Structure 1
Amino acid sequence: MPPRTTTTARQRRLGYELRKLRQRAGLSATEAGKQLGLDQSRISNIEAARFGISADRVRTFAYNYGCADSGYVDALAAMTTSRRKDWWDEYASTLPSGLLDLAETEHHASAIETAQTTHLPGLLQTVDYARSVFRQSIPNLPPPQVEFRVSHRIKRQDLLYRNVPVAYRAVIHEAALRMQFGGADVTREQLAHILDMSEREHITILVIPFTAGAFPGAGQSVLYAHGPVPQLDTVQLDSEHGSLFLEAEGQLEKYRTFMREFESVAVDDHASRSIIRRVIESL
């Protein structure tokens, strides 16, 4: 089988986890290959996601690397299932790979948390609000590229509406509520939509009011996607240069702490809805 020419976030994550297990076992790629009956280049290519791997072989790798965490191994084995075409693949020739990786990461998440300080969460944005955000890109995006991004953002939201929706928790600073992207009418419609979504059982919206004062991670937007086991959680950060995905254990622990502290300065859901209503009335 020829090597892959393109790889997905999920494929790369599996390779990363296998490399991490090997390194924890204190084995070089050459030593691991001898134990597993493979040459060093095959091990390296599997870890780089250039070659696929079966669920049975993942379990064999984990056994040889001394991993006794059955839940973690089962989750890794589940990541090997043959990948069918998904909805985000239709954007492969039109959007940056980071946006496709984000959609795939969210699709497989068991729960999602986000912390927002200046923008409202993408999974809660209306069409008009999203369009106004993308029109502010530097350099300016041509109209078709704006519409591709808007369409992709709205399709990502399907995970909040499917038969078994993902649990979603958003902590939003009041500053983001008052940023009038697209003008007062667009903002009013957007905030009304967030109020409606906050009534859904699987969605929690918490607001950090201006009166909270200083708070951790000021100015940073964070998406924390929970995996089937904590080791497979993923953090996604937005930047002007695209999405940054973090998956190292130290990074995950840092952002678990960040999310707890960020939420600790928010008011409860009832008070949060009251703040959102007051902002709507002020528009």
Structure 2
Amino acid sequence: MALRTPTLRQRRLGAELRRMREQAGFGGSHLARLLGVTPALVTQMENGKSAVSEERLREIATACMCGNEPLIDALVGMARERETGWWEEYRERLPADLLDVAAIEAHAERVSTYSITFLPGLLQTPAYAASVFARAVPPLPRSEIDLRLAFRLQRQQIVQGGATPYTAFIHEAALRMQFSGPEALADQLGALIDHSESSGISVRVVPFKIESLPGPSENFVYIDGPVPELDTVQIDISFGCPLFDAPADLASYREILGRMASVALAEDESRDFIRSIKKE
């Protein structure tokens, strides 16, 4: 069955099937012969443009000699998905990459973030978030800021409701950056302290005194999937939020998070540190 506009999850499923085929050393035509289908159908499945049944998926795994049962079961779960998410109501109103991030977060087993320029979006107050959006170049119209703010507040429910474990590594620079004056920042820092005391949320500060920053210079989000192979990294840049899922990229960012955990302040120390900045 052809799919007109593949969702992010369908594209990821197709990408994993392609990766499975490539790891077996097969070309698309060779796999098509093993399955008894046309090469065009293999291409459509790998592009997320043709639905893949559980039976077909397991047939592909067998043909490609993939014995990773947890991965296969996770892919079967993705193939069975039929419901659309709440973010679809924003389709054609917001950039597609923002909707993709919400889709990944909604299926996450855990979310970890590192912030160096502004505080994590999933923990931002409405006033702070609106101030961040207002700094866009070229400037966003008020209606666009309000739309993005409403979208962000819905995204926040996955962690602020305790549904998804969340760890935020926050550089001291982000704690001191003012987007809308000291009063708005103080309110944001107070909210951050409250969040850090909530079940399922861990906030840890990376202070200036760290001699060597164990990571990149941009904000990033690491989203754990049901198995490590289905993890995703999202990077914040000025013109979008690209996603990465290549095994080498995932391994690199796992290493970065491990180093962050080794140098960041403990949770209690981090709360005291944030309180001291708030008092300033």
TM-score, normalising length from structure 2?
A: 0.97
Q: Measure the CA separation in 2 of the matches of 1:84 and 1:136.
A: 35
| 1:170 match: secondary structure | strand
Per-residue CA deviations over 1:131-157 (Å, capped at 9, x if unaligned) read 000011111111111111111111001
Using the TM superposition, give the Cα deviation of residue 29 of structure 1 relative to its aligned residue in structure 2, in angstroms.
0.8
Match of 1:230 in 2: 228
Q: In the alignment, does 2:50 pair up with 1:51?
A: yes
Counterpart mapping for 1:68-147 below 5 A = 68-147=67-146
Q: In the alignment, does 2:238 pair up with 1:251?
A: no
| 1:205 match: secondary structure | strand
Counterpart of 1:260 (choices 255, 258, 261) is: 258
| 2:265 match: secondary structure | coil
Per-residue CA deviations over 1:16-42 (Å, capped at 9, x if unaligned) read 000000111111111111111210000
Match of 2:200 in 1: 202
Using the TM superposition, give the Cα deviation of residue 218 of structure 1 relative to its aligned residue in structure 2, in angstroms.
4.7
Q: Measure the CA separation in 1 of the matches of 2:94 and 2:101.
A: 12
Counterpart of 1:270 (choices 265, 268, 271) is: 268
Q: Measure the CA separation in 2 of the matches of 1:27 and 1:258.
A: 33
Match of 2:28 in 1: 29
Q: In the alignment, does 2:191 pair up with 1:193?
A: yes
**Could you tell me which amino acid in structure 1 is paired with residue 39 of structure 2?**
Q
Over aligned residues, Cα RMSD in angstroms? 1.2
Contact 1:11 1:49 in 2 (8 A): yes
Structure 2 spans left out of the alignment, 5+ residues: none
Aligned residues: percent identity?
39
Per-residue CA deviations over 1:228-275 (Å, capped at 9, x if unaligned) read 100000000011120110001011001111111123221111110011
**Could you tell me which amino acid in structure 2 is paired with residue 99 of structure 1?**
L
Q: Measure the CA separation in 1 of the matches of 2:236 and 2:163.
A: 24
Q: Measure the CA separation in 1 of the matches of 2:218 and 2:261.
A: 14
Q: Measure the CA separation in 1 of the matches of 2:202 and 2:153.
A: 19
| 2:184 match: secondary structure | helix
Structure 1 stretches (4+) deviating beyond 3 angstroms? none
**Could you tell me which amino acid in structure 2 is paired with residue 81 of structure 1?**
R
Q: Measure the CA separation in 2 of the matches of 1:176 and 1:189.
A: 14
| 1:17 match: secondary structure | helix
Contact 2:114 2:169 in 1 (8 A): yes
Q: In the alignment, does 2:19 pair up with 1:20?
A: yes
Match of 2:167 in 1: 169
Per-residue CA deviations over 1:69-121 (Å, capped at 9, x if unaligned) read 11110001000123223110011111001000000001101001111111100
Residues 271 and 76 of structure 1: CA distance in aligned 2, closer, same or farther (over 3 Å)? same
Q: Measure the CA separation in 1 of the matches of 2:209 and 2:252.
A: 26
TM-score, normalising length from structure 1?
A: 0.96
Contact 1:15 1:46 in 2 (8 A): yes
| 1:214 match: secondary structure | coil
Per-residue CA deviations over 1:26-76 (Å, capped at 9, x if unaligned) read 111111111112100000011001111112211111111101111110001
Contact 1:117 1:218 in 2 (8 A): no
